[in-house]
Amino acid sequence: MTTVSLDTLKKRLRQTTWLPLGIMAALLLSATSFILYQERQGQLKNTEHALADVVQSQESLISQEVYMGQDQALKIRIDSILSNWNQKYPGGIACLEFLVSPPTGEPRLISGCSSDTIDSKSLRYEETSVKAGNKVLAKIRYSVSRPTRIWDIFPPVLIIVVLVGLFAAVFTHFTLVSRVETRVLAPLIDKIAESERNAAIAQTAQMMAHDIRKPFRLVQLALARLHEVKNTEVRELSAKVSEDFETSARSIDAMIRDILDMGRDVNLSVEPVSVARLVEQLHETLARLYPENRVKFSFNIRQRHRVMADREQLMRVLINIGENAVQAVRLSGDLRISSKQSIRNGHSFIDIAIANNGPEITDEDRSKLFTPFFSRKVAGTGLGLAVAKKIVAEHKGEIVLTSTPTETCFTVSIPEATRDAVASAPDTRPVSESEKSLKTTCEQTILIFDDEAAVRSHWRKYAKEHDFQAAWDFNSWEDFVSQNGFALTPGAIAFIDVHYQGSKYDGIEIARSLRDLGVKRIYAITNDPETANASGLFDSVFGKDIPTNFAQLVG
Amino acid sequence: MKKLLFLLLTTMASCFVHADTFRVAGIYPSHTFGHFNCTCGLEGACITEAAIKRARLEGMNISFTQVNKDWNIFKTMEAAETVVTHRYDAAVGTLVSDDALAAAPILEAAGIPFIVPTATNPGVTAGKRFVTRIPFNDRRQAFLLARLATTELAAKRIVIVRNSSTKYSDFLGTEFARNIRKNHPEILVKDFPIVEGFTDFKALATRFLAVSPDLVFVPLPQSQLASLYVELVNRKAALTMLASDTIEKKPMFLEMIAPTSDLIQFIYPKHWDGTFSSPESARYLSLHRKYCGEYEPSMTTMAAYDAAELVIKALKAKPNARGEDLIKEIHSLKFHGMTGLIRYGTDGDPVKPLELYLIKDGDVVHWRRYE
C-alpha cells in the first residue's frame, strides 16, 4: 500500500478539481468564440449587402461615367464608395472592380480596395453588371472581408465577463477544496492517525505478549512436571493449584492470542464448514465455559447451510460473540441463534445471527465496539470484537450489529460454500469425530526443532495427549544427529523454529537439510513469517503456538 | 379596291406633305433632377415650339416635335435614335455637354443637322459636319477664365474642384489648369476631382483649404456649387470662387443662405449680358410672354430661341437647305441673337465673349464683358 501524505492528498484534490474547471472554461470560450464567429459572418454578409446596395444606388451614374469614358470619375467613385463603406464598417476590407466596356475604347479594369495590404486576387467576389439597354457597359465585382483580430473573437466586454466568471469559478474552487480539506480530509487523516496509533499500540502489545508468554509457558511446564510427582499430598495440592492456574492461564492465553492476532495477518485454511455443527459446538463451548448459566437457547439453523471458512477461526468469532451475549444477559436471558441465506453483490452469503435480549448498546458504544482496545468490561482487553471483525473481513464477510431496547443482534455473514466445494471437501465430519479418529490412527513421526526446552516440551506434551505415537523434539541439529534422527526422517513432518539459536545451524538450514533427507512436510514455527515464507522451504508458517489444525496437518 | 386606292393616295399625299414640311425634332429633357433641378428643358422646348409656330404663321412650312422626356445620356441617345428613325430634317436641344456628346454621333452618322443651344464641350462639334452650337466652347471659356484668374484676379494659389463624372466639368477644369500652367508656371495649381453625387463638401473644403488658395475654380453643376459655397461661408473662408456657365438665373445658393459672405468674391460667366437691348429682344419677349409665360426668361430659353431662329433664318435664306447645307447656311449667317452676336470661327464654333457676373451685397450683378 502506498502511503499518501495529507499535502499530497490536497495537491491531488486540487489537480483533480482543476480539470473540470479547465474543461468548463475551455467549453465556455469555445462556445463564445463560435457564436461570435457566426455573428461576425452575419455582419460580414450585411456589410457585403450594404456595399452592393451602394453600388446599385449609383448604377445610373456609373453607367453614364462608363459610357462617357470618365475613368478618373469611376476611380474616385470606387474610392468614395469604399471610404464611406469603411466609415460605416470600420476594420472591414472591401474591394471593388469595374471591368468597363464603353462603346469606344478598349475594355479596361478600374479597381480599388479599402486597404492597400490586402491581396485582392485572393478574395471571393460577387458580381453584377451595369447595362445600357441590353448592352453590358461594365461588370462590377465586389468583395467584403474582415481580418480576424483577437478583439473580434474576444471583445473586451467578453474578456471581462470570462475573467469575472473564472474568478468566481476559482473562488468557488478554492472554497470547495477548502471545505473538502476541512470536512472530509481532516477527519479522514485523523482516522488514519488513530489507526496508525492503534497499530503501534498493537505492535507494542504484541511484543509484550510475546515476552509474557515465555515465562508463562515455563510455569505451565513446571506444573506439568508437578503432575508427575509421586507424593500424594503434593499431587493433590498441585492438582488444585494447576486447575486454578490453567483456568487463569487459558484466559490469559486467549487474551495474548487476541493481541497477537490483532497485529498480524490471519492465515486462513478455508473449507466447507457446516453451520449447524459450528452452532452445536458453540453451544457446547458456552455451556462448558459458563456451567452455571441459565440462558435459554433457541436455534433456527438450516442443516444444509455450509460456509467457506476456516473452522477454528470462525469458531473463535462465534465464541467471542456468544460469550459477550451470555455476559450481556447476565447468564439468565434469551439467546437466539439462527442462519439464513442472503445475496449481496451477486454473491451468496450465510448470515449467522446471534441475538440476545440484553440491554441496548448505545449509539456511542456501537460506533466504537469494533475498535481495538475498546471495552466496557473490567477484565476485557477490548480486542475480542476487533479480532472477530478482522477474521470475518479476511473471510470476505462482515459483521453487522443492530441493537434495540428489546434485542441486540450480531450477524456474521460468511460466503456460502458452493456445491462443488462441498463435494470436493476432503473431510466434512465434525471436528470431535475427526480427533477421535486421529487418536487411533495417527502414527506419524513428528520432528520438533526449537531451542527453547519449554516449547519443545509443550509440543511433546500436546502430541502425547493426542496419542501421536512418534514425536521427537530436538534442541539442535547436533542433537538430531546424535540421536540418529536420520532414521526417523522418511515421511516425517517437521516443525522448526526458523530463528533458533541453540546450534550453529539456524532453522532455515535445518529445514533445507531435512528436505534433502526426504521429510514429508515442514512447517515453520516462528514470529518472523516473512523470513520463513521468503525461504520457500516451508509448507506453511505458524506462530509459536501449536496450530489449531495440528491434528489435521499430521493426519 | 376603292379602299386600297384610297390608302395609296393618302400615303402618297402624306409623303408629299412630309416632303414639303421641314420637320424639327426637339431633344429637351422634361426635368433635370439631381443636376440643375430646373425646368429649363421644358422652357427650351416651349420657346422652340413657339418660334416655329411663329414661322409657320409667317408662311413657312416647318413643324416641331418634342421627342425626349427623361434626362440622362441613354434617354438622350434613345431620342436621337427616334430622330433618325423618323427621318427628321433637323434636331435642336439637349441642355448639357454630356447629353449633346451622346446624341451628336448618332445624328452625325445619320446626316441630320443638330443645333445645340447650351452644350459647350468642344467634343460636341469637333470633327462633325452636321453638328453646330450656339454658345462659345469650353476651350475658349477655359482660356478666358484662366486669363481672368491670373491677370485681373491676380490669383497665386489656385485650387480646381471639378466634377470628373461629366465631360463638361472634367474638360473645363483640366483645360483651365493647362492654360495656367502653360502661361504661369509659377502659380500653384491643385486639382481636386470629385464625382457626380458627391456630397462630403466638408471634408473636401478641409482638404483644399489646407493649400490656402486665393482662388478656387469650380466648374460644377449648381447643386454641388451651392453646397461648396455654403461650406466655405460657414468656415469664413476668404477667397475668390470662379464658377463656369452652369448658373441659370439667380444662383441657387443665394436662396439657400442669407446673407452671403463678403469674404468670398463669387464670379461666374454667362452667355447673356442680362439686358434686352438687342433688336431681337422685343421679338423674343413677345413670343415668350405669349407662349411660355409660366416661365421667367432664362439663359436656356434665350439660347434655345437663338437655335430655333438660326434654323428658321437659314431656311428662309435657302428653303431647300438640308443636311450639311443647312449647317453651312447657319454658319454663314450673322445673327444678333439673344445670346449676342453669333459668329462662327475657324473651328466651327461661335466666337463670343463671356458675360461675367458677380455677387454684390447679396445680389447678382453683371460685372463686365470679357473676351
CA neighbor of B126 nearest in space, from B182, B171, B178: B171
Give A245 or A428, the one with higher predicted confidence: A245
Residue A470 has pLDDT above 80, yes or no: no
Based on its alpha-carbon atoms, the radius of gyration of chain A, rounded to whole angstroms, reads 46
Distance from CA of B96 to the nearest CA of A (A): 13
Residue A215 has pLDDT above 90, yes or no: no
Instruction: For residue A443, name the pLDDT band (cuts at 50, 70, 90).
Output: low
Q: Which chain B residues are Cβ-neighbours of A77 within 8 angstroms? A: 165, 195
Closest-CA residue in chain A for B204? A80
Distance from CA of A162 to the nearest CA of B (A): 42
Q: Which chain A residues are Cβ-neighbours of B170 within 8 angstroms? A: 70, 72-73
CA distance A41 to A47: 10
CB contact under 8 A, B196 and A63: no
pLDDT at B15: 46
Residue A348 has pLDDT above 80, yes or no: yes
Tell me what the mean pLDDT of segment A196-223 comes to. Answer: 67
Classify burial at A6, counting beta carbons within 10 Å of its beta carbon; exposed 0-12, middle 13-18, buried 19 or more: middle
Residue A236 has pLDDT above 90, yes or no: no
Instruction: For residue B199, name the pLDDT band (cuts at 50, 70, 90).
Output: confident
CB contact under 8 A, A64 and B101: no
The pLDDT tens digits for B280-315 are: 899 999 999 999 999 888 888 999 999 999 999 999
pLDDT at A440: 35
DSSP, residue by residue, B264-298: EEEEEEESS-S---SHHHHHHHHHHHHH-TTS---
Distance from CA of B339 to the nearest CA of A (A): 29
Residue of B81, B164, B202, B223 to mutate, testing the A interface (most A Cβ within 10 Å of its Cβ): B164
pTM equals 0.55
Give the residue numbers in B contacting A (CB under 8 Å), as ranges. 72-74, 98, 101-102, 163-167, 170, 193-198, 200
Q: Which chain A residues are Cβ-neighbours of B72 within 8 angstroms? A: 60, 64
pLDDT at A433: 43
pLDDT at A439: 37
CA neighbor of A74 nearest in space, from A106, A103, A99, A49: A99
pLDDT at B139: 94
Give A379 or A170, the one with higher predicted confidence: A170
For A235-372, strand residue ranges (E) read 271-274, 296-300, 306-309, 334-344, 347-356
Instruction: For residue A424, name the pLDDT band (cuts at 50, 70, 90).
Output: low
Give B265 or B14, the one with higher predicted confidence: B265
Percent with pLDDT over 70 in chain A: 78
Tell me what the mean pLDDT of segment B212-217 comes to. Answer: 96
Is residue B297 within 8 A of residue B43, CB to CB? The reply is no
CA neighbor of A395 nearest in space, from A447, A440, A350: A350
Q: Which chain A residues are Cβ-neighbours of B97 within 8 angstroms? A: none
Give A138 or A383, the one with higher predicted confidence: A138
Give the residue numbers in A contacting B (CB under 8 Å), as ranges. 58, 60-61, 63-65, 67-68, 70, 72-73, 76-77, 80, 132-133
Give B340 or A255, the one with higher predicted confidence: B340
The pLDDT tens digits for B221-238 are: 888 888 899 899 989 999
Q: Which residues contact A68 (CB under 8 A, 6 or more apart)?
A: A102, B73, B98, B101, B102, B165, B166, B167
- Report helix, strand or coil for A301: coil
CB contact under 8 A, A64 and B72: yes
Nearest CB partner across the interface for B72, out of A60, A80, A133: A60
pLDDT at B259: 66
CB contact under 8 A, A68 and B195: no
Residue A362 has pLDDT above 80, yes or no: yes
CA distance A92 to A84: 12
CB contact under 8 A, A70 and B101: no
Q: Which residues contact B69 (CB under 8 A, 6 or more apart)?
A: B29, B30, B75
Closest-CA residue in chain B for A83? B200
Residue of A64, A96, A137 to mutate, testing the B interface (most B Cβ within 10 Å of its Cβ): A64
The pLDDT tens digits for A293-346 are: 888 888 888 777 889 998 888 998 998 899 888 888 877 888 999 999 888 888
pLDDT at A444: 64
Report whether the peptide linkage leading into residue A529 is cis, meaning its omega lies within 30 degrees of zero: no
Distance from CA of A44 to the nearest CA of B (A): 26
The pLDDT tens digits for A12-51 are: 766 666 777 778 778 887 887 788 778 877 877 888 888 8
Place of cell 529445514: A511
pLDDT at B151: 95
pLDDT at A438: 34
Residue of B196, B198, B199 to mutate, testing the A interface (most A Cβ within 10 Å of its Cβ): B196
* Phi, psi dihedrals of residue A224, rounded to the nearest 5°: -60, -40
pLDDT at A380: 64
3-state secondary structure A139-166: EEEEEEECCCCHHHHCCHHHHHHHHHHH
Nearest CB partner across the interface for B164, out of A60, A64, A70: A70
Residue A259 has pLDDT above 80, yes or no: no
Across chain A, what does the average pLDDT equal? 78
Residue A291 has pLDDT above 50, yes or no: yes
Residue B209 has pLDDT above 90, yes or no: yes
In the numeric block, which cell numbers belong to residue B167?
Answer: 465631360
Q: Which chain A residues are Cβ-neighbours of B101 within 8 angstroms? A: 68
Distance from CA of B72 to the nearest CA of A (A): 8
* Phi, psi dihedrals of residue B284, rounded to the nearest 5°: -65, -50
Q: Which chain B residues are Cβ-neighbours of A64 within 8 angstroms? A: 72-74, 98, 165, 196
Instruction: For residue A84, name the pLDDT band (cuts at 50, 70, 90).
Output: confident
Closest-CA residue in chain B for A58? B197
Percent with pLDDT over 90 in chain A: 8
Is residue A264 within 8 A of residue A529, CB to CB? The reply is yes
Residue of B94, B168, B195 to mutate, testing the A interface (most A Cβ within 10 Å of its Cβ): B195
Instruction: For residue B53, name the pLDDT band (cuts at 50, 70, 90).
Output: very high
CB contact under 8 A, A65 and B165: yes
Identify the weakest region by mean pLDDT among A42-46, A468-472, B213-217, B308-312: A468-472
Beta bridge partners of A189: none
Residue A430 has pLDDT above 70, yes or no: no
Residue A432 has pLDDT above 60, yes or no: no
Q: Which chain B residues are Cβ-neighbours of A60 within 8 angstroms? A: 72
pLDDT at B85: 96
Instruction: For residue A442, name the pLDDT band (cuts at 50, 70, 90).
Output: very low
Percent with pLDDT over 90 in chain B: 68
Across chain B, what does the average pLDDT equal? 89
Instruction: For residue A550, name the pLDDT band (cuts at 50, 70, 90).
Output: confident
Is residue A116 within 8 A of residue A164, CB to CB? The reply is no
Nearest CB partner across the interface for A73, out of B73, B101, B165: B165
Distance from CA of A39 to the nearest CA of B (A): 32
pLDDT at B254: 73
The pLDDT tens digits for B91-109 are: 998 988 999 999 999 999 9
Closest-CA residue in chain B for A78? B195
CA neighbor of A185 nearest in space, from A18, A373, A17: A17
CB contact under 8 A, A70 and B166: yes
Please state, as a whole number, how many other Cβ atoms lie within 10 Å of the Cβ of residue A157.
Answer: 8
pLDDT at B299: 87
CB contact under 8 A, B102 and A67: yes
pLDDT at A429: 38
Tell me what the mean pLDDT of segment A491-519 comes to. Answer: 79
CB contact under 8 A, B165 and A60: no
